[in-house]
Structure 1
Amino acid sequence: MAFMKSAILVCVTAVLTVYLPQLWTKTRPIITAGTVQPGFEPVAKLFRENFEQGVEFPTGGSAFSVYYKGSKVVDIWGGYADSEAGRPWKEDTMSVFFSTTKGMAALCMLVLVDKGLLDLDKTVASYWPEFAQNGKDNVTVCMLLNHQAGLSYTSENITLAHLEDQDALGEVLARSPPAWEPGTAHGYHSMTFGLYASQLLRRADPKHRTLGQFFKEEIAQPFDIDFHIGLPLESFHRVARITGDAGNMVLALLYGLTTGPVNRHVLWAMVSRETDISKVIESSGDTMESSIHLRPETLALEQPSAFGVGTARAVAKVYGILANGGRTNQGQRLLSNDVIKKITSEAEADGSLDRTVGTETVLSLGYFVGEFQGSPQFGHPGGGSVQGLTDTRRQLGISYLSSYHPLFSLTDDPRFMSLQEATYKCIDNLEP
């Protein structure tokens, strides 16, 4: 009986935690704004309906952007950047993109490849000799970008203090042994991918820049991309306050046990000894504390795996350029089409489970590869169901950004999925 009372109390607490904040803010007016090009009006209509019908959450805000054939065709936003303060989401509001940051980190590495400064078939140690310690001497650049290097977690905990000292961080990463024989398996390097990429970039780049500096100078500034890996302190006032239920483990378990197989699989991975997720969390130290994304001094640090901050417009523009053959409509080149094609042409779905999360994943040159409605896509999702992806066949670049983190997995959030489906339907109506 005592157990039953405790179970009921937990469930009631969970329900109140989810719904009370929504009831509290229900009286706030619904705000949506932005622009769409002719033919994409249904996307804007659905975006507002999602707020009106409770698909979007009133305690947060969101933005959705689409580039098609090199042009911006959808740029919409709504809700609140800070619901407690009543601060609406504006055109220049940014939020944390979490793991979608890794897509920008991968782009930096491919720009180096395109410039002939980095060879995918060479070993990482040929650029970074100290990396060869503890069985990593044969790890190639391609293995590292494909999450096959066995470096999904480190033997020493990574802390915020390490992010402040790139040399000390490099020493820790170089010492860490692989968790499996490199090249024999793959496992999502959720918190380490960007760190290793940045250290490698520092050695391959003639100017020895960090990845954040490289992104700023080679991508953000030349292409007017409002995305930051290392957010300037003076820009923090534009950042939306992260809210939601994804950090509530009780709610996550209750949701996961009553929904689709993907969530149940992920929950299994979290408690199974056959995956490395617990070691990933432990070795990430205080860099995974939820409160760090509310502090400007933390977002100012470079963690190219998870601390990227920007607008949906910025990420959609990047993927829109990639979908446009690597060039803007004005002829400015970001990446060669040959390198872009490698992402999907060299992707291998071997049916094996990801060592980190326990599900099947296809990772190629830093990107997740999949498809939607028969069209191949590549990109990178992030925590809170944020998204950045490209469809080269349809010449689409898409990004969804939200400050509200729900309990949905990365593959079944109705907020993004409904908007993506509406976008594809508009494309189908426009194309003969």
Structure 2
Amino acid sequence: MDVHGAVAEGFEPVREAFARNFAALGERGAAVTVYRDGHKIVDLWGGTKDVDGTEPWERGTAQIVRSATKGVAAAALLLLHQRGELDLDAPVGAYWPEYKAAGKEHTLVRHLLAHRAGVPVLDRPLTLAEAADPDRAAAAVAAQAPVWEPGTDHGYHAHTYSWLTGELVRRVTGRPIGEWIADEIAGPVGADFWLGLPEDARPRVGRVGPVTAPEAGGLKTRPKRAVAEAYADPASLTLRAFGAIAPAPDENDPAYHAAGLAGSTGIATADGLARVYASLIGEVDGGTRLFTPHTTELARGEQSAGPDRVLVVTTRFGLGYMLHGGASPLLADGSFGHPGRGGALGFADPDAGIAFGYVTNGFRKSVTADPRAQALVRAVRTALSR
């Protein structure tokens, strides 16, 4: 496998780990980018653009990043808070009156970001057309009764996060969240990130699909029984949360790419993800910084920790971001970011000055700790410790 791109002196372990992912972990096409103190130090890509094709991955190839989208959506809400337009401690109903229905009147904005809102499921799943219609989707989640008292517990809002965050941005700004992100985040930072893919960017996007690693060498791991049972039980919060859009969308469908779902349909390059995170902790290339230091601290301040009622493992969340822990290992305790189920990962570590982006066209069964991404994170940690 030819690995293209470059790494700064001292970061050769990242190139080695990236190459091993193709040799040992079933990688088909991927890219990884790392910034340190706002400057690019790792920029690698290899394999094929499509998981089932032969066309080579090129600099600038983009892929759908699933739930890694959530971290960029969180940045939109935190920027609105930073600008004084959104109060994290205000009831959601202050901005979205219809949301006060069915016992949700005391839900705070911060509860939505920290997966504490109690609405990870819908009693009736939405079709893709309904999910992509902001009026119909917002009405469905506003009418939904919570499965726990908002603010008292946490559980991953896999799909409903899209409509909760998207509708808040729309109510506060009058603009769809994808348009707002394009104008206020991706544009100013110069990041290849789209929530609602434009037609002219479509040729850059590769086809995604499932991959499995070779079984040799102990690379496969057996899931814990409780987790396996939750994913097999149609009545579990786990399966219902991931099934809030039904039937499951085709992730290569242009309609899905255009849907603008803030929890799942972001499309990015590895550099795009990394640049966004770099802008949350400092200036990128000596220019734009989005978060003030205070907002950065808000992002990574722990809001939820412990057994997750949806993922059935112990998780930690800040305001819209997963925090470093067993379920989602990042660089260190101060890191914040978000994985995409089965592959992608974006995060920042303010203490080390590191911003990281990884995208792939091959999705594995892992939800929050993909072994290929983890190998790259460990390599970054090794490089920093030298």
Is TM-score (shorter-chain normalized) higher than 0.5?
A: yes
- The question of whether the paired residues in 2 share the 8 Å contact of 1:386 and 1:401 is answered with yes
SS at 1:319 equivalent: helix
User: Which aligned pairs between 1:1-400 and structure 2 lie closer than 5 A?
Assistant: 30-51=1-22, 53-57=23-27, 60-82=28-50, 84-205=52-173, 208-245=174-211, 259-260=221-222, 263-271=224-232, 275-286=236-247, 288-289=248-249, 292-324=250-282, 327-349=283-305, 351=306, 353-370=307-324, 374-400=332-358
CA distance in 1, matches of 2:2, 2:366: 24
- DSSP 3-state at the match of 1:78: strand
State the Cα deviation string for residues 58-114 of structure 1 (Å, max 9, x = none). Answer: xx2011110111111001000011254410111011011001001111111101000
1:273 positional shift: 8.2
Q: What value does the CA root-mean-square deviation take over the aligned residues?
A: 2.3
Cα distance in 2 for residues equivalent to 1:78 and 1:403: 11
CA displacement at 1:223 relative to structure 2: 0.9
Give distance in 2, aligned partners of 1:198 and 1:409. Answer: 23
CA distance in 2 between counterparts of 1:393 and 1:201 reads 30
Q: Distance in 1 between matches of 2:115 and 2:94?
A: 19
Is the CA contact 1:65–1:398 (under 8 Å) kept in the aligned structure 2? yes
- Deviation for aligned residue 1:224: 0.6
Distance 1:294 1:311 in 2: 16
Largest Rg, 1 or 2: 1
Cα distance in structure 1, aligned partners of 2:384 and 2:144: 47
Instruction: Call closer, same or farther: CA 1:339–1:274 in 2, change over 3 Å.
Output: farther
Cα deviation for residue 345 of structure 1 reads 3.0
Q: Which residue pairs with 1:404 in the alignment?
A: 362
Write the letter of the residue equivalent to 1:398: F
- The letter of the residue matching 1:40 is F
**Between 117-126 and 327-336, the greater mean CA deviation after superposition:** 327-336
Letter in 1 for 2:17: L
Identity of aligned residues (%): 33
Describe the superposition over 1:243-266 as per-residue Cα deviations: whole angstroms up to 9, x where unpaired. 2247xxxx9xxx99x725x65442
Q: Secondary structure at the match of 1:42?
A: helix
Deviation at 1:419, TM superposition (A): 1.6
Q: Give the count of matched residue pairs.
A: 378
- Greater helix content: 1
Name the SS of the counterpart of 1:421 in structure 2.
helix
Counterpart code for 2:169: L
Query: Residue 335 of structure 2: SS of its match in structure 1?
Result: strand
Deviations 1:206-258 (A, max 9, x none): xx001101000001111111011001123222111112247xxxx9xxx99x7
- In structure 1, distance between residues paired with 2:268 and 2:138: 26
Note the alpha carbon deviations across 1:192-212, whole angstroms, 9 max, x for none.
11211111111111xx00110
Structure 2 counterpart SS, 1:385? coil
For 2:234 and 2:12, the matched residues in 1 are separated by: 48
Take 1:354 and 1:278, find their aligned partners in 2: how far apart are those partners? Answer: 14
Matches within 5 A, 1:416-431: 416-429=373-386
TM-score by length of 1: 0.82
Alpha-carbon offset, residue 304 of structure 1: 0.9
1:63 touches 1:312 (CA, 8 Å); kept in 2? Answer: yes
Indicate how the Cα distance of structure 1 residues 294 and 273 shifts in structure 2: closer, same or farther if over 3 A, else same: closer
Partners of 2:35 and 2:275 within 8 A in 1: yes
Q: 1:409 to 1:204 in 2, by over 3 A?
A: closer
2:331–2:377 Cα contact (<8 Å) kept: no
Q: Give me the whole-angstrom Cα distance separating, in 2, the residues matched to 1:142 and 1:128.
A: 14
User: Structure 2 stretches of 5 or more lacking a match?
Assistant: none
